[in-house]
Structure 1
Amino acid sequence: MEKSINIHQVARTCLILASVILLFFGILHLHGTFFSTDLYPKDLDLIEKLKISTIQMDESGIIWKLWIGFNAMFSVGLIFIGSVNLYLSTKHFEFIRAKSAILTLTICSNIFFVWTGNRYMISDFSISMAIPLIFFAIGYAIIRLKRLNYLK
């Protein structure tokens, strides 16, 4: 007895995997920001300089605090994107299938993360953002192709 593959289940699984990966890396980044020194410069003298350096726009903008704040906000952004997509993929998959705006914005965000990672950051970051991008893109492609009746 041959079982057929439910193509929507494949798409849903891809979206869930991508969402969990983003959520995981967001939590990992948040941990690295507040509970470890993984994101600190190796040069301890540089840290001290960053703690007294300000930005030109506002003297209260201390570079070290901005560094921590930007990393924390980025972490929460990943957690938010991963959580929203995980919730929609598990509880409201029909909504994602019918209205693809959130998924499109998620893919665009991930493209930007990968581009930024390649241009300004470390390769591990780019890879960690490319993996969910691939899963989101596969899920999106399956949904679109199924909607256009290219898939059974």
Structure 2
Amino acid sequence: MPTQILIVAGALIFGLLGTVHLAYTFFTGLFSPRDAATEASMKLTHPRLTRRTTLWKAWVGFNASHSLGAILFAAVYLLLALAHMDWLREAPGLVWLAALGALAYLALAVRYWFRTPLIGIALASVCFLAAAIVLSV
């Protein structure tokens, strides 16, 4: 039971962060540059890779896909923990995979992001790591 609670908690944190990030991406200007000229330039500039998009569209798309990845990660582990906990007990490697995934997000948060996702991802990482350790003992 404590292992299940830890996995659910870690997944809920990722789901919340992903959902808020998706909402911020499409329904607020919180990810827009403070300098309006930078945003205008992003809307007119193409990456070297292709002229079929702009840096602005890529920025929005990257933020949206990042959100969807966190939401999917959360959904998979919520489903496993709530409906198929026996699978996780039989294959603790799946929980270690969640812990490694969370730690990868944590490394990104430390290097590139700001305090709120860093704290949330650190908490989720602790939950997944603790669950993996308990299942492996």
Q: Write the mapping of 1:72-87 to structure 2, written as runs, cut at 5 A.
A: 72-87=64-79
The worse-fitting range, judged by mean Cα deviation, of 67-76 and 118-127 is 118-127
Name 2:127's counterpart in structure 1. Answer: 135
Q: Which of 31, 34, 37 in structure 1 is aligned with 2:23?
A: 31
Please give the secondary structure, in 2, of the residue aligned with 1:74.
helix
Q: Using the alignment, how far apart are the partners of 2:11 and 2:114 within structure 1?
A: 22
Unmatched segments (≥5 aa) in structure 1:
1-8, 146-152
Give the CA deviation at 1:125: 2.1
Which residue does 1:56 correspond to in 2? 48
SS of residue matched to 1:57: coil
CA distance in 1 between counterparts of 2:20 and 2:7 reads 20
Q: Distance in 2 between matches of 1:105 and 1:18?
A: 13
The structural deviation recorded for 1:105 is 2.0
Determine the structure 1 residue equivalent to 2:87.
Answer: 95
Aligned length: 137
Structure 1 residues 102-150: Cα deviation after superposition (integer angstroms, max 9, x where no partner): 32222111111111111122232222211111001111111111xxxxx
Identity of aligned residues (%): 23
Task: Quote the Cα distance in structure 2 between the aligned partners of 1:53 and 1:102.
Answer: 42
Residues 18, 70 of structure 2: 8 Å contact kept: yes
Q: Please say if 1:43 is aligned against 2:35.
A: yes
Structure 2 length-normalised TM = 0.95
Helix, strand or coil: the match of 1:39? coil
Alignment-derived partner of residue 109 in structure 2: 117
TM-score (norm 1): 0.86
Matched letter for residue 144 of structure 1? S
Q: 1:148 is matched with which residue?
A: none
- Alignment check: 8 A CA contact 2:96 2:128 kept: no
Q: After the TM superposition, list the runs of 4 or more consecutive aligned residues in structure 1 that deviate by more than 4 angstroms.
A: none
